[in-house]
């Protein structure tokens, strides 16, 4: 039985319903999920399965229609946007498929942004940005803007930015989706290194089985709920796949 202290994220019977005109669309249908501290988890499913909505819930980017969401034991399901923003800034680092870098800023300035939002001292921001760019082997590119860098380099800047406030959780939404296979594997190798050497909790959304298989555990989503869990080579059906 898993100790509650080992759980960093927990979703309990989470539903997310959108209104499309007069029609209710259920993006999530009673999703329950636990993420342990220091785990590398992949959430996998086809288009329309609810992956992105699940990521939004885990990342405090949205609130559920009903259900409970706990981050480090704190119920965040119905917090105000300002409170959610504070939690996002301190506890969660985001890596997006499209990198989401500001093209008018240098690599170093992009890495600095989350720390500035948290009102960190200027000297600490400068030093930490240099350290993180060194960590992702991009110190020599710190003054370059995103359009002067390759896709793989931009994604590594995005990884450095995600680590700027020492988050408890890294959420990676299709982190290799816009990269060629070789570059994508290098990015994955770096995420695995973070997980292994620093004990960072990583939650990754992907539709690519080969990418998902790099994680410790895979949760398969279909129609807004988990249908199967894969731990290593052991599969346990959570429901009947239609």
pLDDT digits (tens, 9 = 90+) for 143-175: 999 999 999 999 999 999 999 998 989 999 988
Q: What is the pLDDT of residue 70?
A: 92
Residue 88 near residue 169 (C-beta atoms within 8 A):
no
Chain-centre distance for alpha carbon 166: 14
User: pLDDT grade, residue 89 (50/70/90)?
Assistant: confident
Long-range CB contacts (within 8 A, 24+) of 29-32: 29/223, 29/224, 29/225, 30/67, 30/224, 30/225, 31/57, 31/67, 31/221, 31/224, 31/225, 31/226, 32/226
* pLDDT tens profile 10-19: 999 999 999 9
- Delineate the domains of the chain, giving CATH numbers in brackets: 37-62+80-237 (3.40.50.300)
Answer whether residue 239 shows pLDDT above 60.
Answer: no
Q: What is the pLDDT of residue 193?
A: 87
Answer whether residue 69 shows pLDDT above 50.
Answer: yes
Answer whether residue 46 shows pLDDT above 70.
Answer: yes
Place of tokens 């995600």: 162
Residue 218 near residue 232 (C-beta atoms within 8 A):
no
User: pLDDT grade, residue 2 (50/70/90)?
Assistant: low
Q: What is the pLDDT of residue 76?
A: 87
Q: What is the pLDDT of residue 201?
A: 94
Answer whether residue 51 shows pLDDT above 80.
Answer: yes
Segment 40-69 mean pLDDT: 91
Segment 100-118 mean pLDDT: 94
Segment 12-40 mean pLDDT: 93
Helix (DSSP H) and strand (DSSP E) numbers for the chain: 7, 11
Q: To 5 degrees, how large is the angle CA 22–CA 67–CA 65?
A: 25
User: pLDDT grade, residue 178 (50/70/90)?
Assistant: confident
Mean confidence (pLDDT) of the chain: 88
- Between these two residues, 101 and 97, which has the higher pLDDT value? 101
- Between these two residues, 1 and 56, which has the higher pLDDT value? 56
Answer whether residue 223 shows pLDDT above 90.
Answer: yes
Answer whether residue 234 shows pLDDT above 60.
Answer: no
Q: What is the pLDDT of residue 241?
A: 44
CB neighbours (10 Å) of residue 236? Answer: 8
Closest CA to 203 of 86, 50, 81, 94: 94
Answer whether residue 184 shows pLDDT above 50.
Answer: yes
Segment 95-103 mean pLDDT: 90
């Amino acid at each position: 039985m898993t100790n509650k202290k080992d759980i960093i994220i927990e979703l309990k019977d989470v539903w997310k319903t959108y209104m499309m005109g007069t029609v209710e669309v259920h993006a999530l249908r009673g999703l329950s999920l636990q993420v342990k501290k220091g785990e590398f988890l992949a959430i996998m499913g086809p288009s329309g399965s609810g992956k992105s909505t699940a990521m939004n819930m885990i990342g405090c980017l949205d609130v559920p229609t009903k259900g409970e969401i706990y981050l480090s034991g704190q119920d965040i399901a119905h917090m105000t946007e300002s409170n959610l923003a504070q939690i996002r800034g301190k506890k969660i680092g985001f890596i997006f498929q499209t990198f989401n870098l500001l093209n008018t800023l240098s690599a170093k300035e992009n890495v600095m942004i989350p720390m500035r939002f948290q009102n960190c001292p200027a000297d600490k921001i400068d030093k930490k940005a240099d350290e993180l760019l060194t960590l992702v082997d991009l110190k020599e590119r710190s003054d370059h803007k995103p359009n002067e860098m390759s896709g793989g380099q931009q994604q590594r800047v995005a990884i450095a930015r995600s680590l700027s406030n020492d988050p408890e959780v890294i959420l990676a939404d299709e982190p290799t989706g816009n990269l060629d296979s070789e570059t994508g594997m290098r990015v994955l190798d770096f995420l695995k290194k973070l997980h292994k050497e620093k004990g960072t909790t990583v939650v990754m959304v992907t539709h690519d089985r080969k990418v998902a298989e790099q994680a410790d555990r895979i949760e398969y989503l279909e129609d807004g709920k988990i249908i199967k869990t894969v731990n290593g080579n052991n599969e346990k059906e959570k429901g009947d796949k239609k």
